[in-house]
């Protein structure tokens, strides 16, 4: 769900990143991290790149530390999957917006609440807004950092990271399976459940058997793009000053698309990588298929549900949100479907066969993937820190 990736994870990452990258002498010079969070807009002329699910924000060290302490207490005794009626459950955050979703939209939404919430992750009915399941952290001292929908409306890939600081925090991957009514049927580790780095973007194939991730390398300024399939991991290197975000996998997992661009230069593009190619340099192994306007910022990308289309978005000027759809094949773009300006928007992802445009706390739209016609929805999760639909 591009898009789409905040509070604790972003605040904590802001603290640990600042200490380990700038304040401690002798450490390597690392890439500048994105400071765009879905709590605010990127400044005009900014070239920062939003992370799809970790809605990070830069906060003063003392304030962030206070947040970490408070949340550390809240998750001191984590529990696993709970049903809404369990004895240790708590009420979901209040919502004033009436839920509404077209019949074609998937029936359930995985909602990431702020990590200090008593229900950090819940499953919500798209039609009624009712909570159908609650999922707390699977391990001690971890926090949910990402969630990805698959082609099944009842299967999601979840990612959890550690609360403690450190250069090489692992990320733990899980598969969440729901019942037909949206109750949590199982939460189990993914086929290769541990990524030995903090991921910055995540994507899943339609069958849920392939997962892609981008991660900052533990030591050095580069990033790593990885594919997990059948219990095996294959990686490509993204060489500084280039950086990637907004990953999206084709339905069968054979092609990975992502946004790439140099840090600080404000000109991004979309690349497609054949996931069967040999490991090595990501740029050399991939093909550029789309270039964003030079004045575009907050760039996002997603494949369509059929993998024969792709969608791109960006902001210009006074936060004008642009959205465009294209047909795509192995040779690249094969014609434009539509190009339009949306009333509101910041992130881009997919909701079943629809395209989801979301500006947290402001508005959400489901967009027809062929015509570009937008339908505003008023979900109870509008103020969430992350969703997978």
What is the domain-level CATH number for residue 137?
A: 2.120.10.30
Look at residue 164 in the predicted model and tell me its pLDDT: 79
Look at residue 165 in the predicted model and tell me its pLDDT: 63
Flag the least confident range among 28-37, 165-174, 223-232, 242-251. Answer: 28-37
Once rounded to an integer, what is the mean pLDDT over residues 160-175? 86
CB neighbours of 120 closer than 8 A, spacing ≥ 6? Answer: 75, 112, 113, 114, 135, 136, 137, 143, 144
Q: Strand pairing partners for 322?
A: 314, 341
The answer to the question of residue 336 being in a domain is yes
Domain that holds residue 143: 7-388
Flag the least confident range among 47-61, 90-104, 281-295, 352-366. Answer: 47-61
Once rounded to an integer, what is the mean pLDDT over residues 58-66? 31
Once rounded to an integer, what is the mean pLDDT over residues 199-211? 95
Q: Strand pairing partners for 364?
A: 358, 377
More confident residue, 6 or 127: 127
Average model confidence (pLDDT) across the chain: 78
Domain count, the chain: 1
Report residue 386's pLDDT band, with 50, 70 and 90 as the boundaries. Answer: very high
Taking each helix axis from N to C terminus, what angle separates 61-74 and 7-18, rounded to the nearest 10 degrees?
130
The answer to the question of residue 304 being in a domain is yes
The answer to the question of residue 351 being in a domain is yes
Burial of 62 by CB count in 10 Å (0-12 exposed, 13-18 middle, 19+ buried)? exposed
Burial of 187 by CB count in 10 Å (0-12 exposed, 13-18 middle, 19+ buried)? middle
The answer to the question of residue 39 being in a domain is yes
The answer to the question of residue 379 being in a domain is yes
Look at residue 250 in the predicted model and tell me its pLDDT: 96
Give the SS3 label for residue 79.
coil
Look at residue 307 in the predicted model and tell me its pLDDT: 93
Say yes or no to pLDDT of 27 above 50: no
Distance CA(176)–CA(146), nearest Å, equals: 12
Look at residue 219 in the predicted model and tell me its pLDDT: 83
Once rounded to an integer, what is the mean pLDDT over residues 344-373? 96
Q: Find out whether 55 and 10 touch, Cβ atoms under 8 Å.
A: yes
Distance CA(294)–CA(268), nearest Å, equals: 8
The answer to the question of residue 314 being in a domain is yes
Q: Which two tokens stand for residue 125?
A: 């009915």
Once rounded to an integer, what is the mean pLDDT over residues 259-287? 93
Say yes or no to pLDDT of 91 above 90: no
3-state secondary structure 308-342: CEEEEEEEECCCEEEEEEEEEECCEEEEEEEEEEE
The answer to the question of residue 347 being in a domain is yes
Look at residue 5 in the predicted model and tell me its pLDDT: 40
Distance CA(185)–CA(178), nearest Å, equals: 5
**Residue 277 backbone phi and psi in degrees, to 5:** -70, 160
Q: Which two tokens stand for residue 146?
A: 């990402």
The answer to the question of residue 1 being in a domain is no
Once rounded to an integer, what is the mean pLDDT over residues 265-291? 94
Q: How far is CA 127 from CA 3, 157, 186, 360, in A?
A: 21, 22, 23, 19
């Amino acid at each position: 769900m591009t898009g789409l990736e905040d509070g604790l994870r972003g605040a904590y990452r802001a603290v640990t990143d600042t200490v380990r990258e700038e304040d401690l002498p002798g450490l390597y010079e690392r890439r500048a991290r994105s400071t765009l969070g879905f709590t605010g807009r990127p400044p005009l002329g900014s070239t920062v790149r939003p992370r799809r699910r970790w809605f990070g924000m830069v906060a003063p060290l003392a304030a962030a530390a206070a947040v970490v302490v408070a949340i550390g207490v809240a998750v001191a005794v984590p529990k696993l999957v709970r049903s809404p009626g369990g004895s240790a459950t708590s009420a979901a955050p209040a919502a004033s917006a009436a839920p509404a979703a077209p019949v074609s939209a998937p029936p359930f939404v995985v909602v990431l609440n702020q990590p200090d919430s008593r229900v950090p992750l819940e499953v919500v009915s798209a039609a009624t807004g009712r909570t159908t399941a609650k999922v707390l952290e699977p391990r001690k001292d971890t926090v949910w950092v990402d969630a990805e929908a698959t082609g099944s409306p009842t299967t999601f890939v979840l990612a959890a990271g550690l609360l403690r600081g450190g250069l090489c925090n692992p990320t733990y991957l899980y598969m969440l399976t729901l019942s037909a009514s949206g109750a949590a049927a199982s939460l189990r580790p993914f086929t290769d459940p541990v990524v030995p780095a903090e991921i910055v973007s995540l994507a899943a194939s339609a069958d849920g058997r392939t997962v892609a991730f981008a991660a900052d390398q533990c030591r050095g300024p580069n990033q790593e793009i990885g594919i997990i399939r059948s219990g095996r991991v294959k990686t490509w290197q993204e060489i500084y000053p280039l950086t990637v975000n907004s990953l999206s996998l084709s339905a069968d997992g054979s092609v990975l698309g992502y946004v790439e661009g140099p840090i600080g230069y404000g000109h991004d593009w979309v690349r497609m990588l054949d996931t069967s190619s040999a490991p090595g340099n990501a740029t050399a192994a991939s093909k550029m298929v789309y270039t964003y306007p030079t004045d575009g910022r907050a760039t996002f990308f997603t494949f369509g549900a059929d993998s024969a289309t792709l969608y791109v978005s960006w902001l210009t000027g006074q936060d004008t949100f642009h959205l465009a759809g294209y047909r795509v094949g192995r040779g690249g773009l094969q014609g434009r479907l539509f190009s339009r300006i949306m009333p509101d928007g910041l992130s881009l992802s997919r909701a079943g066969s629809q395209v989801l445009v979301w500006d947290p706390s402001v508005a959400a739209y489901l967009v027809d993937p062929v015509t570009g016609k937008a339908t505003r929805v008023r979900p109870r999760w509008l103020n969430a820190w992350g969703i997978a639909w």
